[in-house]
Structure 1
């Protein structure tokens, strides 16, 4: 058979990943805080977008209403009723139609690894010929404090706030550097001290060795060791330690409690972690009462002394969905409208600017802004509806958990929710990522409600793995000191309760909950008696 080049025409259907489609997929899997940041960036980038300053209109639905709508629907539930079409205004056709593709199809077909939508370069659109001249830092030289502060507070370009300086937290490095400046006057030793301080992590541990520091700085190893010993005497106690044992030793020395028995205990922290109290008694040569007091002193120390300085602000979890009891005995599911961004498309401004557009470049820019703005508004609305639909189905499936507690958590997977709401599993996976639900029992991530199932030993309904973990924890917490439950005993008790589980599964769940073995628990409880 001869090989020769030839031309062929073929027809095929494919999904084109447009920037707007990528935007819709990205918005679906963002949490509320990330979504607010994204919308703020779009408001700065797109002049046709503006915030909706109207009253909050929370979107809410109950389970019965959603079930009735789903049964009345002729086909699978759809997230979007068609593609986006931007209508031109009377001045001209500057907004071309977007591809006729629904967001449901996009969410189901696109992979989660799709990148962010393409950024358009609008640097040539806004031109400010009268931009102020950059400020020369040398102008501030010689000015008094009052002159600088008065100019900053007079409404100039500088955003000076004295309260931000007063309330600022001092970092661990700054705290150590202040002490170093007072304790060391020799320039060489001060240089070594600054280098060592820069190698201290947030927890207060030195993450380098003195030999490498001496080699890099060209300093004698004895001098580096002496500077390190000086730093280890700074506040807070235990700082600049190279491991946990040294950190505890420094704190005990500061309390004048590092005697030979305590030294033996600190040198054998591995045995303390294993709760091998018999071996610790032999090494420390103390009785049970003294060993218990020494262990209590160890537990009172701070294993991470640097965390008290310049700590990173922990962002609290903001729920995306709020679930509260309804008046009819059911559950009312609504979106958290307080954190949900609301934007509008300024059609009036678009029409006014479009009339004055002269070049093709200006017209193309306006059409892209209008298309992007409309897609963003519709994507936000569709995102809210999709999250509400999935959350409502999760509440319907886990009604027993909300009513009676974790013991009644049902096994659930993505396919069960996807089949119930008429979506693809990938869509449900994106919806439940980085989303949280506030219930009467606390705030839970939506992924929390999806647990594997453990078969029933009596052929009944399967049990959730999370409820089984909770049952194992309760059994261990209730065990007496003279009758510690082994993994085999826990398996036997669970099978008597109708849960078919293997011993290795019990051991895996116990280790995942950081619960020690029965031997270690027996040693610890006997030492506390």
Structure 2
């Protein structure tokens, strides 16, 4: 067989993920805070790019809308907020004709004189009053960082011990603390690892177990509760026996526990009430994340003409391009390599602004469609959450499902019913006898929670009884579905709920 080489032309189409396309996709799925951090990094590399607080977002991004709700233009009452109507036409897009605007690359420049973002309806009516009245959700909720557990304990060590050796032992014990506040090692192990006398370690441990918060440096759950009972003046012989038999308490065996404590069941229940006031993990708050309210990326509220969605400008970054500096630099730079860098940097900055506008418009369009479809939930509550899939929103706004998925993953929206993720508005449909559209799974979960909350404490409903009640309301649901949703809601089984009710029964 003869082998030969030849050149052939072949035509084909393929999608190429250019660096700029990858950058646009990354920006699409960032929340406002991540986006601000990303743009600041870009500004460090690009001398023409300036990033600051957004005072006018991306201009008027509202598409043409019907006559019912026309709140696309910024008004004096909202101080230039970027609004998009929830009754927009499917697939509509804003007019964007670069040729009609010679300042196309600068039409996103923001001016602090445009006024603050609008407040939500019913929040004081102080909108449009100037920069000092800007609504900044983060600034009003973030407090100074509290001291860490080790800082808190270290201050008490400095006060309690004057002896250098005892202070050193106390610091070693502090290093052995678990996030719960319990001691993670035995006294014997700590003494052996650090070549110390056991009695010396035990003596220091007795002293630091008096530190705040009460219960810290305990050797276990019973010891932690015992320290708190002693501090409260409740530790008598019966309480000590109760703490030595916590396994009986967990099993709800009140009568057997009463016999061991040589007390009546009523006295045991009284001790149990005191026990519930103690903190089994007294140091856990020191190890938790700072109590920071996550600022929403979007805000939805009911205006005078219907529901309105706007970007949260208190966290949304703004971009400006220093065109004057770019023009001056072009005149001064003579070397070809420097001119190339200048042109590339300026082009990159302009493209980033256009990508920001597209990101904002896409986010608003998708959020507005979600709010439009889930208006019953916003007005009436969780029971009225409609079944909604990514493809439903994608079809309505004329985008691909993957685009909708990227935008809704991780973004928060503030509503009159609290701040929730956009993803939480999506729910599969369950069959319904009287509603062809069906009922959302989220609504069924909410209904299960309400049924359990309304049951008689001593006579909890089984999963079969919950199924019967749900089916009676016209929603077809299987027992395994109820069991799965009950576990998602962290609702224990009927046997466990009955046991807990027995523990909580009044004397």
**TM-score interval for Structure 1 and Structure 2 normalised by the shorter chain:** 0.7 to 0.9
Task: Rate the CA distance shift 1:440–1:285 in 2: closer, same or farther, 3 A.
Answer: same
**2:413 corresponds to 1:390:** no
Distance in 2 of aligned mates of 1:2 and 1:194: 83
Task: Rate the CA distance shift 1:3–1:282 in 2: closer, same or farther, 3 A.
Answer: farther
Q: In the alignment, what sits opposite 1:63?
A: 86
Of 462, 466, 473, 2:449 maps to: 473
Please identify, of 180-189 and 388-397, the stretch whose mean Cα deviation from structure 2 is larger.
Answer: 180-189
Using the size of structure 2 for normalisation, the TM-score is: 0.77
Residues 245-284 of structure 1, C-alpha deviations (whole Å, 9 max, x = no match): 3321221122332334323433444554554545544544
SS at match of 2:89: helix
Distance in 1 of aligned mates of 2:84 and 2:158: 63
**2:359 corresponds to 1:336:** no
Of 379, 384, 390, 1:414 maps to: 390
Q: In the alignment, what sits opposite 1:193?
A: 170
Of 428, 433, 448, 2:424 maps to: 448
Of 239, 261, 267, 2:238 maps to: 261
* Structure 2: segments with no counterpart, 5+ residues: 57-79, 106-143
SS at match of 1:344: strand
Of 392, 406, 413, 1:430 maps to: 406
Greater relative CO, 1 or 2 (CA 8 Å, sep 6+): 1
**2:224 corresponds to 1:247:** yes
Root mean square deviation of aligned Cα: 3.4
Distance in 2 of aligned mates of 1:222 and 1:54: 63
Q: In the alignment, what sits opposite 2:28?
A: 28
Task: Rate the CA distance shift 1:314–1:236 in 2: closer, same or farther, 3 A.
Answer: closer
Task: Rate the CA distance shift 1:272–1:464 in 2: closer, same or farther, 3 A.
Answer: farther
Equivalent positions of 1:490-505 (< 5 A) are 490-505=466-481
**2:496 corresponds to 1:520:** yes
**2:236 corresponds to 1:236:** no
Residues 194-232 of structure 1, C-alpha deviations (whole Å, 9 max, x = no match): 122123245423334445433432334444344333322
Distance in 1 of aligned mates of 2:352 and 2:250: 54
SS at match of 2:300: strand
Equivalent positions of 1:152-301 (< 5 A) are 169-273=146-250, 275-301=252-278
Task: Rate the CA distance shift 1:458–1:414 in 2: closer, same or farther, 3 A.
Answer: same
Structure 1 residue 399, shift from structure 2 partner: 1.7
Distance in 2 of aligned mates of 1:289 and 1:213: 42
Q: Is the 8 A contact 1:79 1:386 kept in 2?
A: no
Distance in 1 of aligned mates of 2:5 and 2:380: 71
Please identify, of 509-518 and 373-382, the stretch whose mean Cα deviation from structure 2 is larger.
Answer: 509-518
Using the size of structure 1 for normalisation, the TM-score is: 0.74
Structure 1 residue 516, shift from structure 2 partner: 2.8
Distance in 1 of aligned mates of 2:314 and 2:283: 36
Task: Rate the CA distance shift 1:13–1:218 in 2: closer, same or farther, 3 A.
Answer: farther
Q: In the alignment, what sits opposite 1:306?
A: 283
Equivalent positions of 1:311-330 (< 5 A) are 312-328=289-305, 330=306
Structure 1 residue 323, shift from structure 2 partner: 1.6
Task: Rate the CA distance shift 1:364–1:199 in 2: closer, same or farther, 3 A.
Answer: farther
Task: Rate the CA distance shift 1:444–1:312 in 2: closer, same or farther, 3 A.
Answer: closer
Q: Is the 8 A contact 2:55 2:313 kept in 1?
A: no
**2:487 corresponds to 1:464:** no
Q: Is the 8 A contact 1:192 1:227 kept in 2?
A: yes
Equivalent positions of 1:86-97 (< 5 A) are none
Distance in 1 of aligned mates of 2:397 and 2:254: 56
Task: Rate the CA distance shift 1:199–1:294 in 2: closer, same or farther, 3 A.
Answer: same
SS at match of 2:299: strand
Distance in 2 of aligned mates of 1:2 and 1:244: 84
Structure 1 residue 312, shift from structure 2 partner: 4.9
SS at match of 2:50: strand
SS at match of 1:324: strand
Q: In the alignment, what sits opposite 1:39?
A: 39
Distance in 1 of aligned mates of 2:442 and 2:13: 44
SS at match of 2:88: helix
Distance in 2 of aligned mates of 1:386 and 1:12: 30
Distance in 1 of aligned mates of 2:264 and 2:369: 60
Please identify, of 1-10 and 34-43, the stretch whose mean Cα deviation from structure 2 is larger.
Answer: 1-10
Distance in 1 of aligned mates of 2:218 and 2:42: 47
Equivalent residues, number: 440
Distance in 1 of aligned mates of 2:25 and 2:310: 22
Residues 466-497 of structure 1, C-alpha deviations (whole Å, 9 max, x = no match): 21122122122222245432222111111111
Q: In the alignment, what sits opposite 1:439?
A: 415
Structure 1 residue 293, shift from structure 2 partner: 1.6
Q: Is the 8 A contact 2:433 2:475 kept in 1?
A: yes
Q: Is the 8 A contact 1:78 1:423 kept in 2?
A: no
Structure 1 residue 28, shift from structure 2 partner: 1.2
SS at match of 1:342: strand
Please identify, of 421-430 and 480-489, the stretch whose mean Cα deviation from structure 2 is larger.
Answer: 480-489
Residues 58-97 of structure 1, C-alpha deviations (whole Å, 9 max, x = no match): 2212232334xx3xx6xxx799999xxxx9x9xxxxxxxx
Task: Rate the CA distance shift 1:402–1:4 in 2: closer, same or farther, 3 A.
Answer: same
Structure 1 runs, 4 residues or longer, greater than 6 Å off: 1-9, 77-82
Q: Is the 8 A contact 1:238 1:247 kept in 2?
A: yes
**2:42 corresponds to 1:19:** no
Structure 1 residue 353, shift from structure 2 partner: 0.8
Please identify, of 284-293 and 318-327, the stretch whose mean Cα deviation from structure 2 is larger.
Answer: 284-293
Q: Is the 8 A contact 1:60 1:335 kept in 2?
A: yes
Q: Is the 8 A contact 2:310 2:364 kept in 1?
A: yes
Residues 148-197 of structure 1, C-alpha deviations (whole Å, 9 max, x = no match): xxxxxxxxxxxxxxxxxxx7743321232233234445544433321221
Q: Is the 8 A contact 1:78 1:422 kept in 2?
A: no
Q: In the alignment, what sits opposite 2:50?
A: 50
